[in-house]
């Protein structure tokens, strides 16, 4: 057919249609198969998602049904989950607890003996450091019911696939009695008393001036005698020894001697200085060898240079050819020796008395200089206080003067006259309150004491205290639901509480936690505590913190804590501060509980 040149187009078109039909049928079969597979896959994904949601729901319901308080925090210590038992135990709703840091939600927990637990020793804090804590017992107060309970906490870290800690989980159970907690991967128990403490006491009590310096001459430690003889303050530590304990023309040679002793040179000479006593000071050097057999420090022991005692040489009797001395000659010689010894002893006693007198005179001069410096600081603080009071009174008088002037100009408008009169009266009352605060601080007059509920007074101050704290401070205020009657001046109470809270806020420097707690005691007293997570304070600072004009902050007047102390005395109460370096500080204001019908 093709060879003859004739094309049967009917046959060609028929074959083409047949092939096309076959391809169409195959496409339909393939599409139907893929559609069935897609529908099956979608159904499987829907089933998996539904199963996952059901599993999460069952897990959430199971966790809520567990009668043990379960909480979980993120890496930053903020709560991200708490079951129903945790809400009941901690006394906080889910919207109050989620997002709150654990040290704020559980603030104020104590050991069973009443000592506060530092935030970094809480089980959740330890778990975030990779530790596992089992059976840690402490006292927990429910802020909703005010009930205190003994709880046992087990906390563990939550880790990702790489072993990095991404959070913590804890179980809290209320218990009836104390048990010995089991701790895994915790710090070792407290070591026995450090035997080096005896060495430290000997170092401080030594009668010689002792200074420990680094090989480069920088002071590492200095005992009391060294600081007293040279009139130096404890902050001399960290400075160069030669600059503070040697004369200017002796420093180059002194540094060379220190370097020679530091490299282990045999027979390093002592350092003789003209400072430190009537005739100078002799510093003897003792190298301290470290673990690598190298000198890592030097001890300098300083003693005053004694005055040489000139004693005439005793004549040596020429040997006699005859017999020995007679008894009378021996007795005379012994008497002469006793007189010479007594004379030498008298000279040494006189020298010692003179050295002691010079030391006492120098110490007295240093004390007088310190008193003059403190007096100048107090005058400066008084000046700042006077300026502040003058500005306050000037503002109050300006309000009163303006109000009275407007009252005279608008005497025909009774409503406006009334408003202006109320403004003037309010300004006068504020001036009266300011005067009463100053009088309470100086104890020049008795405050107007009234029997009031301290809890109501504290709750009324909450908004002002939170505004004072600012957004960066976690401020917790707890006031009892029961009455706490006290006989106080309300203005003085407000000023004292504000001063204590402001001092705590200044301590945390705008980033920390402050807890204010008021509670009646079984001893017939009402106790207000203000605790912060600041750097804390040592015993010396705590002993002087209540003194007027004493402050550790530049530019401060040093009158906040003394004002609170004066209020406590006027109210027949007490105020004291406690704390340790790195553990925060706590101010405790105790007031006598007043009889309700008094």
Q: Tell me, what's the pLDDT at 99?
A: 74
How wide is the angle at C-alpha 477 spanned by C-alphas 473 and 483, nearest 5°?
170
Q: Tell me, what's the pLDDT at 182?
A: 44
Contact 292, 300 (CB under 8 A): no
Burial of 505 (0-12, 13-18, 19+ CB in 10 A): buried
Q: pLDDT at residue 232 above 90?
A: no
* Share above pLDDT 70 across residues of the chain, in percent, rounded to a whole number: 66
What's CA 402's distance to the chain center, in Å? Answer: 47
Q: pLDDT at residue 279 above 80?
A: no
Q: pLDDT at residue 361 above 80?
A: no
Q: Tell me, what's the pLDDT at 109?
A: 78
Q: pLDDT at residue 186 above 70?
A: no
Question: Closest Cα to residue 437, out of 566, 576, 573?
Answer: 566
Residue 141's Cβ-side half-sphere holds a number of Cα atoms within 13 Å equal to 16
Contact 285, 265 (CB under 8 A): no
DSSP character string of 188-227: PPPPPPPTHHHHHHHHHH-SSEEEEE-TTSBEEEE-HHHH
Q: For 395-407, write each residue's pLDDT tens digit.
A: 666 666 666 767 6
- Look-up of token digits 């282990």: 264
Question: How close are the terminal C-alpha atoms of the chain, in Å?
Answer: 134
Q: pLDDT at residue 311 above 50?
A: no
Q: pLDDT at residue 254 above 70?
A: yes
Domain ranges of the chain: 66-184, 196-304, 326-445, 450-592
Stated as kind and residue range, the H or E segment containing 361 is helix 327-409
Confidence of residue 286 (pLDDT cuts 50, 70, 90): confident
Q: Say how far apart CA 253 and CA 246 lie, in whole Å.
A: 10
Asked if 66-184 and 196-304 have one fold, the answer is yes
Q: Say how far apart CA 564 and CA 500 lie, in whole Å.
A: 7
Could you tell me the maximum CA-CA distance found in the chain, to the nearest angstrom?
A: 181
Q: Tell me, what's the pLDDT at 30?
A: 78
Token pair belonging to 100: 């709150």
CATH topology of domain 196-304: Beta-Lactamase (3.30.450)
Pick the more confident residue, 570 or 9. 570
Considering the domain 66-184 in this protein, what is its CATH number? 3.30.450.20
Q: Kindly give, in sequence order, each residue whose CB lies less than 8 Å from that of residue 186, ignoring residues fewer than 6 positions away.
A: 126, 131, 133
Out of 148-162, 341-355, 551-565, the most confident range is: 148-162
Mean pLDDT of 124-151: 80
> Residue 165's beta-bridge partner residues?
159
Token pair belonging to 598: 């008094």
Q: pLDDT at residue 494 above 50?
A: yes
- Mean pLDDT rounded to a whole number for the chain: 75
Q: Tell me, what's the pLDDT at 390?
A: 55
Q: Tell me, what's the pLDDT at 184?
A: 44
Q: Tell me yes or no: is domain 450-592 CATH 3.40.50.2000.
A: no
DSSP character string of 474-486: EEEEE--SS--EE
Contact 108, 141 (CB under 8 A): yes
Sign of CA dihedral 200, 204, 210, 215: positive
DSSP 8-state class, residue 512 = E
Q: pLDDT at residue 529 above 90?
A: yes
Mean pLDDT of 39-54: 73
Question: Closest Cα to residue 332, out of 320, 314, 349, 355?
Answer: 314
Contact 258, 264 (CB under 8 A): no
Q: Tell me, what's the pLDDT at 102?
A: 64
Q: Say how far apart CA 475 and CA 464 lie, in whole Å.
A: 12
Q: pLDDT at residue 589 above 90?
A: yes
- Look-up of token digits 């205290």: 465
Lowest mean pLDDT among 255-259, 330-334, 488-492, 527-531: 330-334
Q: Say how far apart CA 217 and CA 255 lie, in whole Å.
A: 7
Length of the chain: 598
Question: Closest Cα to residue 503, out of 582, 591, 564, 439?
Answer: 564
Q: For 61-100, write each residue's pLDDT tens digit.
A: 777 777 778 888 888 888 888 888 877 777 777 776 777 7
Confidence of residue 183 (pLDDT cuts 50, 70, 90): very low
DSSP 8-state class, residue 249 = G
Q: Say how far apart CA 115 and CA 586 lie, in whole Å.
A: 12
- Helix, strand, coil share of the chain (percent; to 5): 45, 20, 30
Q: pLDDT at residue 591 above 90?
A: yes
Question: Closest Cα to residue 503, out of 469, 471, 479?
Answer: 469
Mean pLDDT of 531-540: 83
Question: Closest Cα to residue 238, out of 264, 271, 216?
Answer: 216
> Residue 298's beta-bridge partner residues?
213, 287
Pick the more confident residue, 48 or 554. 48
Q: Tell me, what's the pLDDT at 458?
A: 92
Q: Tell me, what's the pLDDT at 180?
A: 43
How wide is the angle at C-alpha 576 spanned by C-alphas 575 and 578, nearest 5°?
150
Beta strands at 295-304 and 209-213: parallel, antiparallel or unpaired: antiparallel
Q: What is the CA radius of gyration of the chain?
A: 42
Backbone angles phi, psi at 312, to 5 degrees: -60, 135
Q: Say how far apart CA 591 and CA 598 lie, in whole Å.
A: 16
Q: For 373-388, write each residue's pLDDT tens digit.
A: 555 555 455 555 555 5
Contact 335, 312 (CB under 8 A): no
């Amino acid at each position: 057919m093709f060879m003859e040149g004739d094309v049967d187009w009917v046959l060609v078109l028929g074959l083409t249609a047949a092939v096309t039909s076959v391809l169409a049928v195959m496409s339909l079969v393939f599409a139907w198969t893929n559609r069935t597979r897609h529908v099956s896959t979608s159904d499987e994904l829907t089933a998996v998602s539904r199963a996952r949601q059901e599993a999460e729901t069952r897990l959430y319901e199971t966790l809520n049904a567990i009668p043990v308080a379960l909480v979980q925090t993120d890496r930053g210590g903020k709560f991200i989950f708490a079951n129903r038992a945790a809400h009941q135990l901690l006394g906080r709703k889910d919207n109050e607890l989620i997002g709150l840091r654990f040290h704020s939600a559980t603030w104020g927990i104590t050991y069973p003996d009443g000592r506060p637990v530092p935030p970094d020793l809480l089980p959740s804090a330890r778990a975030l450091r990779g530790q596992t804590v089992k059976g840690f017992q402490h006292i927990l107060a429910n802020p909703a019911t005010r009930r205190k309970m003994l709880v046992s906490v087990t906390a563990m870290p939550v880790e990702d696939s790489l072993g990095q800690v991404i959070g913590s989980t804890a179980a809290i159970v209320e218990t009836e009695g104390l048990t010995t907690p089991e701790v895994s991967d915790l710090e070792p128990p407290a070591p026995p008393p450090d035997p080096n403490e005896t060495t430290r006491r000997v170092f401080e009590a030594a009668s010689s001036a002792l200074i420990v310096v680094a090989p480069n001459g920088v002071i590492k430690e200095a005992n009391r005698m060294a600081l007293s003889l040279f009139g130096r303050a404890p902050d001399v530590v960290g400075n160069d020894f030669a600059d503070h304990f040697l004369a200017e023309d002796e420093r180059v040679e002194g540094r060379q001697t220190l370097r020679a002793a530091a490299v282990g040179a045999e027979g390093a000479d002592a350092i003789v200085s003209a400072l430190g006593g009537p005739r100078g000071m002799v510093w003897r050097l003792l190298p301290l060898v470290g673990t690598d057999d190298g000198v890592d420090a030097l001890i300098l022991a300083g003693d005053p240079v004694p005055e040489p005692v000139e004693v005439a040489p005793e004549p040596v009797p020429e040997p006699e050819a005859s017999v020995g001395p007679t008894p009378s000659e021996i007795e005379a010689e012994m008497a002469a020796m006793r007189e010479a010894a007594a004379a030498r002893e008298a000279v040494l006693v006189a020298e010692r008395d003179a050295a002691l007198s010079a030391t006492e005179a120098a110490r007295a001069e240093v004390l007088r200089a310190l008193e003059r410096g403190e007096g100048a600081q107090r005058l400066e603080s008084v000046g700042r206080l006077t300026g502040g009071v003058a500005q306050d009174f000037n503002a109050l008088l300006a309000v009163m003067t303006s109000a009275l002037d407007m009252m005279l100009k608008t005497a025909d408008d009774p409503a406006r006259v009334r408003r202006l009169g109320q403004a003037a009266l309010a300004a006068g009352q504020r001036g009266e309150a300011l005067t009463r605060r100053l009088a309470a601080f100086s104890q020049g007059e008795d405050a107007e004491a009234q029997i009031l509920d301290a809890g109501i007074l504290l709750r009324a101050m909450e908004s002002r205290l939170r505004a004072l704290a600012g957004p960066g401070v976690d401020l917790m205020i707890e006031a009892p639901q029961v009455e706490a009657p006290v006989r106080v001046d309300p203005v003085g109470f407000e000023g004292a509480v504000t001063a204590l809270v402001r001092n705590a806020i200044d301590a945390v420097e705008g980033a920390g936690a402050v807890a204010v707690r008021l509670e009646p005691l079984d001893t017939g007293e009402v106790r207000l505590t203000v605790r912060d997570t600041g750097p804390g304070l040592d015993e010396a600072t705590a002993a002087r913190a209540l003194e007027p004009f004493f402050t550790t902050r530049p530019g401060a007047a040093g009158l906040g804590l003394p004002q609170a102390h004066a209020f406590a005395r006027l109210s027949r109460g007490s105020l004291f501060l406690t704390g340790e370096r790195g553990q925060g500080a706590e101010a405790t204001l105790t007031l006598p509980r007043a009889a309700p019908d008094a």
